[in-house]
Amino acid sequence: MALILAAAGTAAISGPPQEQENVAAGAAKHPIDAWLEECTAKDESTAGQLACLATAYGKWDAELNRVYQELMNKLPEDSRPALKAAQVAWLKHRDEEFKLLAALYDPLDGTMYGLMKTADRVDIVRKRALELSSYLDVLENK
Total domain count, the chain: 1
Distance, in Å, from the CA atom of 140 to the CA atom of 74, rounded to the nearest integer, reads 9
* CA dist 134 → 19, 55, 140 (Å): 8, 23, 10
Model pLDDT, residue 134: 96
pTM of the full structure: 0.82
Helix (H) or strand (E) holding 22: helix 17-24
The predicted-structure confidence for 1-21, as pLDDT tens digits, reads as follows 444 543 444 343 334 444 444
Domain residue limits at 41: 2-140
